[in-house]
Amino acid sequence: MVTSVAGCRFCEIAHHRKEVQLRSKERCVVIEDINPKARYHFLVLSKTHIPRPTDLTAADIPLIEEMESTGRELLRATLKANGEADTVEDMLRIGFHYPPMISINHLHMHLIYPLSTMGLISRTLTFRPGKVFKSTGQVVEALRKAAGLPHPLEGNPAKNDNADELPAHAVAN
Ligand SMILES: [Zn+2]
Ligand SMILES: [Zn+2]
């Protein structure tokens, strides 16, 4: 697998530009979008050079989950530091651009918050969930489906709130 590509701006940032990294984890880094579309607009970059979200497979689900949790963690910490209320899920847009909306061919997850500070064009066009922008949840779900993996809650007794129907081992823990 190609880790880094010469001349790729996001590879350069992910591997060499520590000063602009707000967070760095095993598989990703977070930076500020240079052209923010709301009060908070972060980009989570994979450290590995993956050109487009269409190149992702089910094997990349742990990467996507790490990217999401790292971005969310940073948002929460930033809100807290600024004395603002904790993340309101309905106000959060988190996901990937799809062709032809991709400006840089290196995987980057957008995390935009809160939607109330987002401009009309971004909200209704360029970052509107649908063809050109897909939420992280949608992307993971589609990868699972394509690989024939079950939904994580399927067959999980924890989602059943009727304790009488739970198998003994599920009740024990
Ligand atoms: Zn790259
Ligand atoms: Zn984008």
Domain positions in the chain are 9-172
What is the number of other CB atoms lying within 10 angstroms of the CB of residue 136? 22
Distance (Å) from CA 110 to ligand 2 centroid:
6
- Give the ligand whose atoms come closest to the C-alpha of residue 10: 1
Distance (Å) from CA 104 to ligand 2 centroid:
7
Residues contacting 65, CB < 8 A, separation 6+: 140
Residue 32's nearest CA partner among 81, 78, 95 is 78
- Give the ligand whose atoms come closest to the C-alpha of residue 43: 2
Distance (Å) from CA 83 to ligand 1 centroid:
35
The yes-or-no answer on residue 108 being catalytic is: yes
Average pLDDT taken over every residue of the chain = 89
pLDDT in tens, 10-27: 999 999 999 999 999 999
Distance (Å) from CA 102 to ligand 2 centroid:
5
pLDDT in tens, 112-121: 999 999 999 9
pLDDT in tens, 63-73: 999 999 999 99
Please give the backbone phi and psi of residue 82, each rounded to the nearest 5 degrees, phi first.
-95, 5
Instruction: State the pTM of this model.
Output: 0.86
Beta bridge partners of 41: 112
Confidence band, pLDDT 50/70/90 cuts, at residue 2: low
Distance (Å) from CA 101 to ligand 2 centroid:
7
Q: Which fold has domain 9-172?
A: HIT family, subunit A (3.30.428)
Q: Which of 108, 110, 151, 169 is catalytic?
A: 108
Residue 131's nearest CA partner among 93, 107, 94, 96 is 96
- Please say if the pLDDT value at position 172 is more than 50: no
Kindly report which listed range (4-13, 63-72, 147-156) carries the lowest average pLDDT score.
Answer: 147-156
Which alpha helices (DSSP H) does 27-124 contain, by range? 61-81, 120-121
Cis-peptide into 100, omega within 30 deg: yes
Confidence band, pLDDT 50/70/90 cuts, at residue 171: very low
- Give the ligand whose atoms come closest to the C-alpha of residue 45: 1
**Cα distance between residue 124 and residue 173, in whole Å:** 45
